[in-house]
Amino acid sequence: MDAFETTNIYFHRAADLLGLNERVRTLLLNPSREVKVSIPIEREDGTLAHFVGYRIQHNNARGPFKGGLRYHHQVNAEEVKGLASLMTWKTGVVDVPFGGAKGGIACHPQDLSEHDLEILTRRFVQQIHEFIGPTVDIPAPDVNTNAQIMAWIMDEYSRMKGYAPAVVTGKPLALGGSAGREDATGRGCAIVIENFFKSQGKTLKGLRFALQGFGNVGSHLAHFLDEKGALVIGVSDSHGGVMRGEGLDIPRLIEYQRREKTVVGFPQGNSISNEELLVMDCDCLAPAALGEVLTRENARHVKARVILEAANAPTTPEADEVFEKKGRVVIPDILANAGGVVVSYFEWVQNLQSFKWTLEQVVEELTRVMTKAYESVVNIATTKKVPLRTAAFALGVGRVAKAMTLRGL
């Protein structure tokens, strides 16, 4: 089953709950536009390299298409399509006025020099510039992309069309980026999990977390959890992991990872594999890297009571079923990791108004939006007696369906 089919399983569950008819389902399911481009570049060493890039725009009934751009060797049309539709439901869940899109370039970014990455990004923008824009489609960072790459996108687009900072979010602060955008996804995850335990009469103090992934999402999530007194007892990245039962020293680990580009070999802890990390005895497991890491095989061995989906689509539908049977709570991606796109919305608003918000304003608004989304999802889950994922999809899909119906074909 590919990523798009997986997302659509959840879509249909929500559509059943909402009583949507076939006509509305057909309109909601099919992506509005799928762009696939060829990107030849001359590398720094003079050789020619060829890449394939995608931008898939799923739905824009509630506002311009919105979603990240990833640079990864596994990027393909089906995966991008699935991730694009997840963005449509995600922007619906947090009620920001955007639709959903996703894009990417199939490449090994770690094998490309800074020069090659810049050329690749600029060439990609030249190929897709007709399809993006501040009121059309607004890309953002995702797996292996960052503020520098967004800066090149903004610059290349602005050269062709005139100064347009709102064409992309997740930019550097010096170029119209927003305070609090870089750590927004991690901060949003922390707000959601804090709300979850609060509803059980608990604070995060002393609760044990295991995080898979220590990139832009995982490392910031670790920081916020540590700040709130939780114990981060295991973390991993694509090279391996590290654990310490009494809690890892997160500020030191962050420093170590910045220097070494991996958490492997961190002296104050024992090494652990990625598979071992997923089944660690802990209160909450947060997959914060790639999709489909929790499968039918390993789900049975997961000991965490709560799975916080900091990554997009980390749980396969088979694993989801195992978790449901075993009474594990899954806080779904389209709620858990929506903090990124929420602050992207704040960045876009600031760009359109040429006005800067303070970090305090961003955090206050983000907390309000995430808490409201969390409460709405829990409310649907409780009244309809469905898992949080079905409830979140029902909230997102319901909002998009309403907008589409009001606008007409």
* Catalytic residue list: 102
d(CA 103, CA 66): 10
Helix (H, G, I), strand (E, B) or coil at 208: strand
Q: Report d(CA 365, CA 97) in Å as an integer.
A: 15
- What 3-state DSSP class applies to 203? coil
Quickly list DSSP for 235-297: EEETTEEEE-TT---HHHHHHHHHHHSSSTT-SSSEEE-HHHHHT-S-SEEEE-S-SS-B-HH
Q: Which amino acid, 257?
A: Q
182 binds ligand GLU (CB under 6 A): no
* Cβ-based nearer residue to ligand GLU, 241 or 332: 332
Is residue 95 at the binding interface for ligand GLU, with CB under 6 A as the rule?
A: no
140 binds ligand GLU (CB under 6 A): yes
Part in contact with ligand GLU (CB under 6 A); list of ranges 33-41, 65-73, 199-207, 286-294: 65-73
Instruction: Tell me: does residue 64 bind ligand GLU (CB under 6 A).
Output: no
142 binds ligand GLU (CB under 6 A): yes
The answer to whether 193 contacts ligand GLU (rule: CB under 6 A) is: no
Report the residue number, 87 or 230, with the smaller CB distance to ligand GLU.
87
Copy the structure tokens of residue 90: 């995600």
CB of 14 to ligand GLU, least distance (A): 19
- Residue nearer to ligand GLU on the CB measure, 60 or 312: 312
The answer to whether the beta carbons of residues 40 and 48 sit under 8 Å apart is yes
Q: Which pair of tokens denotes residue 84?
A: 């694009």
- Residue of 68, 58, 65 lying closest to 98 (CA atoms): 65
Q: Shortest gap between Cβ of 99 and ligand GLU (angstroms)? A: 11
- Please pick, from the candidates 59, 169, 219, 315, the single residue that binds ligand GLU as defined by CB under 6 A: 169
Which pair of structure tokens corresponds to residue 77? 């049309």
Distances, alpha carbon 195 to alpha carbons 107, 198, 229, 271, 366, in Å: 38, 5, 15, 31, 13
Counting contacts by CB under 6 A, is residue 68 touching ligand GLU?
A: yes
Residues facing 104 on adjacent strands = 54, 70
Interaction pattern, residues 96-115, with ligand GLU; x per rule: CB under 6 A: --------------------
Q: How far is the CB of 59 from ligand GLU (least distance, A)?
A: 14
Tell me which of 7, 312, 350, 376 binds ligand GLU, using CB under 6 A.
Answer: 312
Q: For residues 325 and 346, what is the distance between their CA atoms, to the nearest angstrom?
A: 39
In the complex, least distance from residue 272 CB atom to ligand GLU, rounded to whole angstroms: 27
Structure tokens at 189: 């995850």
DSSP reduced 3-state for 140:
strand
* Smallest distance, ligand GLU to C-beta of residue 264, A: 26
Residue 1: other Cβ atoms inside 10 A = 13
Identity of the residue numbered 116: D
Among 58, 66, 122, 244, binds ligand GLU (CB under 6 A): 66
In the list 53, 63, 67, 234, the residue contacting ligand GLU (rule: CB under 6 A) is 67
Site map (CB under 6 A) of ligand GLU, residues 324-353, x = contact: -------------x--xx--x---------
Residue 136 CB, shortest distance to ligand GLU, in Å, is 14
* Count of chain residues binding ligand GLU (CB under 6 A): 11
**168 or 248, CB closer to ligand GLU?**
168
- Nearest to ligand GLU by Cβ — which residue? 68
Strand order in the sheet with 306-308: 270-272, 240-243, 231-237, 208-212, 284-287, 306-308, 329-331
Answer for the pair 379, 386: CB distance below 8 angstroms, yes or no: no
Binding site for ligand GLU (CB under 6 A): 66-68, 140, 142, 169, 312, 337, 340-341, 344
